[in-house]
Amino acid sequence: MTATAGATGAIFSTLIWKILPPCIDFVGAVVLLCTIDVRMALTLIGFVAVVAAFMYAFGRRARPLQQAFAEQALQVGDELVDVVSNIFTVMAFSARASEYERLRLAFGVEARAQRRSWLFLEKARAFHDLCMWLMAGAMLIWAVEAWRAGATEAGDVVLISALTFRILHGSRELALSLVDASQHFGVIAEMLHVVAVPHEVADRPDAPPFEPGPGAVAFHDVCFAYDGAKPVFEHLDLFVPAGQRLGVVGPSGAGKSTFVRLVGRVMDVTRGAITVDGVNVAAVRQDSLRDAIGVVPQDIALLHRSVMENLRYGNPGASDEQVRAAAREALCHDFIMALPHGYDTVVGERGARLSGGQRQRISIARAMLKNAPVLLLDEATSALDSRSEAEIQAALARLMNGRTVVAVAHRLSTVAAFDRIVVLVDGHIVEDGAPDALIAHGGVYADLWRLQAEGQETP
């Protein structure tokens, strides 16, 4: 995107300072030639038109080469980012030599694509120069012969010579600028393939804002599948009353995280409907819906800003004291004050300067500050140790009071005190009830509970 912005600015600069002046020179030359000999002016126009047609044909044939070069340059950039962002994996597996060779081959492919594009454009430049010199020579011979025949004066020959070389110089600058513009257009065209893609989740043109209520959530015959993949949910029906704390558990790949994302309308269902307070989430504006939903995701990604700004992201209008109070409730305040600049400390890209547990606590504090009627927790305590989890559970209990909570949990201790548990297996609800009742039932939940209990007791 940065390269596209630079290419766009370069195109405007080239157009104003390198393409427009030669065009004005050409128009002026034609006007002056008309005062000397209209035939010369018409010949100049015809010659330039023919050369322009040939250059346009060259340009059309060069466009695929330019786009191929832009694609290879983008791929090399992706390779570099991938290696740098995973450098510890490369070091851990002693893969520096293989990654070096991989990048060397990628650079070679890019260089060959650039060479093909460059050589083709150099042919166009050579053809243009040949045509311009032929034009200049023909115009000079014509002017000299007209002077010798007495049809023009010596000053006319000088004027025609000056105009001819001015057009020759300007047209060369124009050709080089058009080549540069063609390269920039290749960069822009490649980027448009990436960013100019319709949003998968889009608001309807007449969608009204969502009006928050008590927070009842319902799935009505919901079917969902990722593109070309096996359906995650088929004919899923579920009702979560307002104020209920619902835990969603099950084996990996059962659809738990997808379940939470559908409630927040990160994706649209394939069939059926999801309602919050009786309103179809697909029928209202996304931003207004998400204003009424607090989220603590599994993968915590903080903005490259200060701790205070990250915390206030949940409620931009919150005062500093409200932010600090939420941080205390989520047990963030002590470690924040230990940072070099306290709440003004910049956390780094994606929160890289903080540990996973610290990022998760900040995410919980941010959800507390948002104070939404519906709360979605996706493995909200997965990065915490047992002691920290117990402390956070107390803070979450205060946060969840009076709110509708849907919590995905791998560690069953997170949802052990919830009002209700649903067990998902292969996208289907196989068990639904209170935690104690499900343990007594002896089904899937009881097996998961027993396995985790045995794991905790193992020395």
Residue 205 maps to a domain: no
Assess whether 246 and 390 both reside in one domain: yes
Assess whether 28 and 146 both reside in one domain: yes
Assess whether 240 and 356 both reside in one domain: yes
102-110 mean pLDDT: 89
Dihedral (CA of 137, 138, 140, 145) sign: positive
Assess whether 380 and 275 both reside in one domain: yes
**Residue-number span of the structural domain to which 271 is assigned:** 217-457
Phi-psi region of 442 (alpha: psi -120 to 50; beta: other; left: phi over 0): left
For residues 391 and 3, the model is more confident at 3
Assess whether 175 and 253 both reside in one domain: no
pLDDT digits (tens, 9 = 90+) for 242-251: 888 999 888 8
Assess whether 175 and 228 both reside in one domain: no
DSSP sequence for 413-442: GGSTTSSEEEEEETTEEEEEE-HHHHHHHT
26-51 mean pLDDT: 81
Which residue, 418, 448, 451, 413, is CA-closest to 435?
A: 418
For residues 144 and 253, the model is more confident at 144
The CATH number of the domain holding residue 383 is 3.40.50.300
The whole-number pLDDT of residue 59 equals 67
Can you give the pTM of this predicted structure?
A: 0.64
Looking only at the bridges linking them, the beta strands covering 374-378 and 404-408 are parallel
The residue assigned the tokens 């996706």 is 378
Assess whether 178 and 305 both reside in one domain: no
332-339's contacts with Cβ under 8 Å and 24+ in sequence apart are 332/358, 332/361, 332/362, 332/365, 335/361, 336/307, 339/307
**Contact, 344 vs 307, CB < 8 A?**
yes
For residues 141 and 67, the model is more confident at 141
| Radius of gyration for the alpha carbons in the chain, expressed in angstroms and rounded | 34
pLDDT digits (tens, 9 = 90+) for 344-399: 988 887 777 887 778 888 888 888 888 888 888 887 666 566 666 666 677 677 77
Assess whether 276 and 419 both reside in one domain: yes
47-57 mean pLDDT: 75
pLDDT digits (tens, 9 = 90+) for 59-80: 667 767 777 787 788 788 888 8
Assess whether 378 and 238 both reside in one domain: yes
Residue 201 maps to a domain: no
Q: How confident is the model at residue 239 (pLDDT cuts 50, 70, 90)?
A: very high
Residue 206 maps to a domain: no
The whole-number pLDDT of residue 93 equals 84
Assess whether 181 and 222 both reside in one domain: no
Pull the structure tokens for residue 378: 């996706």
The whole-number pLDDT of residue 288 equals 87
Residue 207 maps to a domain: no
Residue 212 maps to a domain: no
Length of the chain: 459
For 366, counting Cβ atoms within 10 Å of its Cβ (0-12 exposed, 13-18 middle, 19+ buried), the class is: buried
200-221 mean pLDDT: 86
The whole-number pLDDT of residue 386 equals 65
Q: Is the pLDDT of residue 260 over 60?
A: yes
Assess whether 178 and 236 both reside in one domain: no
Assess whether 309 and 184 both reside in one domain: no
**Contact, 199 vs 233, CB < 8 A?**
no
Number of domains in the chain: 2
Q: Which residues pair with 406 in a beta bridge?
A: 246, 376
The CATH number of the domain holding residue 122 is 1.20.1560.10
Residue 9 maps to a domain: yes
Helix or strand run (H / E) with residue 168: helix 154-195
pLDDT digits (tens, 9 = 90+) for 162-208: 887 777 777 767 766 776 777 677 778 777 777 777 777 778 888 89
Quote the CA–CA distance of 236 and 276 in Å, as a whole number. 16
Residue 210 maps to a domain: no
CA–CA distances in Å: residue 261 to residues 229, 240, 387:
17, 16, 29
Q: Is the pLDDT of residue 330 over 70?
A: yes
- Picking from 164, 195, 226, the residue at the C-terminal end of a domain is 195
Quote the CA–CA distance of 405 and 417 in Å, as a whole number. 12
Q: Say what angle helices 320-329 and 356-370 make with each other, to 10 degrees.
A: 120
Residue 441 maps to a domain: yes
| DSSP secondary structure code for residue 276 in this structure | E
